[in-house]
């Protein structure tokens, strides 16, 4: 990243210094993100939540052998009755894990269980329901097509097939899929290292008594939680006072230890001036007023090789800006080229929402499934310092920039928090 790029971002024709649209800020950030490249090999289970650095290529066919999809009788399709019934001699039984290895002649069949390897000479399984057993004889009725109820080798996955690409985030089903190929070790990208600290002279640590004017530092706990859920390596640098020297030292230390630096506080009007001066000296950082509520001030850029996100200090704004800008950026830096977007749903508002056009608002909402479908209402007071609104919410009600007041019965879009928080 070079300085001119940032100047261009600030001077582009349609750039409004007072209100950078949310999508534009996201796109701007996206173009500078560099994913981690270091790889490590991990035992399969440890790869959960990590990003594949090497594609998973199947070393075998799945299933490995032709096998039965049903309990019934395996036979050669030539012995299927064209009409009426046919009587065959049962010459053996094939179980899952215990095959029948003998020959199967014309007029013969094998009792077979689901998952058992198909005996040589057999290509079809007649479901038990279409048969009638009588000693070592079985009567087969019509209704089965040649090849039916038989799973062919390589039907699910072929030898040499790429089953999971580079950049894939490993989820529980992937662990099973990789295990089903007999692979016990996988290559993933190393964890993204994220250093974070809170800024503010008014911040007190939990477990201490509050002095007048102090507030407990809660941002470091929500940030810890959000980062931990992403599966990154966390470097907690505590609270840094609003002191240029201390801030400079902390930023330099963070840039040496981490791929990403996240701070809260210090980017609002009034506080931002010396942060701006400091960050201009240390790297290339832009300060934005984003057309978003809550979370208007946001700083983004690079300090040495580390990406820097300067989030606002208000506790709800920290969480909103994290989910709308930082989370997605981190998923890219973890090695996922196209992270899944946060799921959106249409829901009917059950109560009015006050909103002025001009900013995209992320109001905290309670989403419910009713007989009439999904409904939503806000959690109440939407002040950006009211963290309770986040704990009560199960969604963000996303109100676009141009949207004004919402009336009861109007449909809105919501982002579901379950699964991302």
Nearer to Mg ion, 167 or 313 (CB): 313
Which option in ligand AMP, Mg ion, none does residue 264 bind, with CB closer than 5 to 8 A by kind?
ligand AMP
Token pair recorded at residue 274: 């010396």
- Least spacing, CB of residue 225 vs ligand AMP, in Å: 13
- Least spacing, CB of residue 284 vs ligand AMP, in Å: 22
CA gap 133, 77 in Å, rounded: 19
Q: Which residues bind ligand AMP (CB under 6 A)?
A: 198, 200, 202-203, 215, 217-220, 264-266, 268, 271, 312-315
**Residue of this chain nearest to ligand AMP (CB atom):** 313
Asked if 265 touches Mg ion (CB under 5 A), the answer is: yes
350 within 8 A of 420, measured Cβ to Cβ: no
25 within 8 A of 288, measured Cβ to Cβ: yes
Distances from the Cα of 57 to the Cα of 41, 81, 156, 163, 335, angstroms: 15, 42, 13, 6, 19
- Least spacing, CB of residue 235 vs ligand AMP, in Å: 16
CA gap 38, 51 in Å, rounded: 11
CA gap 116, 66 in Å, rounded: 9
Nearer to Mg ion, 43 or 270 (CB): 270
Of the CA atoms within 13 Å of residue 172, those in its CB half-sphere come to 0
C-alpha torsion sign, points 62, 67, 70, 71 = negative
**DSSP single-letter state for residue 304:** T
Nearer to Mg ion, 182 or 244 (CB): 244
Pairing of strands 297-303, 283-289: antiparallel
Nearer to ligand AMP, 212 or 419 (CB): 212
Nearer to ligand AMP, 128 or 268 (CB): 268
- Least spacing, CB of residue 28 vs ligand AMP, in Å: 21
Which option in Mg ion, ligand AMP, none does residue 219 bind, with CB closer than 5 to 8 A by kind?
ligand AMP
Q: Give Rg (Cα) of the chain.
A: 31
Burial class of residue 275 in the structure, from the number of CB atoms within 10 Å of its CB (0-12 exposed, 13-18 middle, 19+ buried): buried
Q: Which of 21, 119, 200, 365 binds Mg ion (CB under 5 A)?
A: 200
User: How many angstroms from the chain centroid is the CA of residue 97?
Assistant: 37
Kindly write out the interface string for residues 167-186 of this chain, putting x where it contacts Mg ion by CB under 5 A and - elsewhere. Answer: --------------------
Distances from the Cα of 220 to the Cα of 123, 201, 205, 294, 382, angstroms: 63, 15, 10, 18, 21
Of 168-176, 188-196, 253-261, 306-314: span binding Mg ion (CB under 5 A): 306-314
Helix (H) or strand (E) holding 328: helix 327-333
Of residues 208 through 237, those in contact with Mg ion by CB under 5 A are: none
Of 91-99, 212-220, 247-255, 312-320: span binding Mg ion (CB under 5 A): 312-320
C-alpha torsion sign, points 340, 346, 349, 354 = positive
- Least spacing, CB of residue 265 vs ligand AMP, in Å: 3
Which option in Mg ion, ligand AMP, none does residue 301 bind, with CB closer than 5 to 8 A by kind?
none
- Least spacing, CB of residue 205 vs ligand AMP, in Å: 10
Token match 């070592």: residue?
136
Q: Collapse the DSSP code of 140 into the 3-class scheme (helix H, G, I; strand E, B; otherwise coil) and give the result.
A: strand
- Least spacing, CB of residue 357 vs ligand AMP, in Å: 25
Nearer to ligand AMP, 264 or 336 (CB): 264
- Least spacing, CB of residue 25 vs Mg ion, in Å: 21
Which option in Mg ion, ligand AMP, none does residue 198 bind, with CB closer than 5 to 8 A by kind?
ligand AMP
How many residues of this chain interact with Mg ion, rule: CB under 5 A? 3
- Least spacing, CB of residue 331 vs Mg ion, in Å: 28
Token match 């173009």: residue?
31
**Secondary structure of 180-224 in the HEC alphabet?**
HCCCCEEEEECCCEEEEEEECCCEECCCCCCCCCCEECCHHHHHH
Nearer to ligand AMP, 40 or 202 (CB): 202
Nearer to Mg ion, 73 or 308 (CB): 308
Nearer to Mg ion, 15 or 274 (CB): 274
Nearer to Mg ion, 231 or 385 (CB): 385
Residues that bind Mg ion (CB under 5 A): 200, 265, 313
């Amino acid at each position: 990243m070079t300085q001119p790029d940032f100047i261009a971002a600030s001077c582009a024709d349609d750039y409004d210094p007072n209100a950078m649209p949310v999508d534009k800020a996201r796109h701007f950030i996206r173009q500078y993100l560099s994913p981690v490249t270091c790889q490590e090999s991990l035992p399969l289970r440890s790869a959960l939540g990590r990003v594949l650095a090497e594609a998973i290529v199947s070393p075998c066919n799945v299933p490995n052998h032709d096998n039965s999809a049903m309990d019934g009788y395996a036979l050669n399709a030539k012995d299927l009755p064209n009409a009426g019934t046919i009587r065959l001699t049962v010459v053996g039984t094939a179980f899952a894990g215990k095959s029948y290895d003998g020959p199967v002649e014309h007029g013969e069949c094998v009792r077979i269980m689901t998952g058992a390897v198909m005996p040589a000479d057999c290509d079809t399984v007649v479901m038990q329901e279409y048969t009638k057993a009588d000693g070592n004889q079985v009567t087969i009725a019509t209704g089965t097509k040649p090849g039916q109820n038989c799973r062919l080798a390589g039907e699910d996955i072929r030898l040499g097939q790429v089953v999971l690409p580079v950049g894939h985030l490993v989820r529980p089903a992937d662990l099973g899929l990789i295990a089903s190929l007999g692979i016990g070790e996988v290559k993933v990208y190393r964890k993204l290292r994220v250093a974070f600290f809170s800024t503010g002279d008014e911040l007190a640590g939990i477990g201490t008594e509050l002095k007048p004017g102090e507030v407990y530092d809660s941002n470091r706990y929500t940030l810890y939680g959000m980062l931990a859920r992403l599966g990154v390596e966390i470097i907690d640098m505590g609270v840094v006072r609003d002191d240029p020297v201390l801030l400079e030292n902390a930023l330099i230390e963070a840039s040496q230890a981490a791929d990403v630096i996240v701070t809260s506080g210090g980017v609002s009007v009034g506080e931002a001036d010396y942060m701006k001066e400091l960050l201009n000296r240390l790297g290339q950082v832009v300060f934005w007023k984003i057309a978003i509520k809550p979370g208007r001030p946001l700083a983004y850029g690079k300090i040495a090789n580390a990406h820097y996100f300067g989030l606002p200090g208000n506790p709800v704004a920290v969480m909103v800006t994290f989910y709308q800008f930082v989370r997605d950026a981190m998923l890219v830096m973890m090695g996922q080229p196209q992270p899944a977007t946060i799921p959106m749903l249409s829901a009917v508002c059950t109560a009015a929402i006050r909103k002025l056009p001009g900013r995209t608002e992320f109001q905290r909402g309670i989403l419910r499934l009713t007989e009439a479908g999904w409904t939503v209402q806000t959690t109440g007071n939407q002040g950006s310092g009211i963290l309770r609104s986040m704990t009560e919410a199960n969604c963000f009600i996303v109100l676009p920039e141009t949207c004004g007041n919402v009336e009861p019965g109007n449909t809105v879009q919501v982002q579901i928090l379950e699964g991302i928080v």
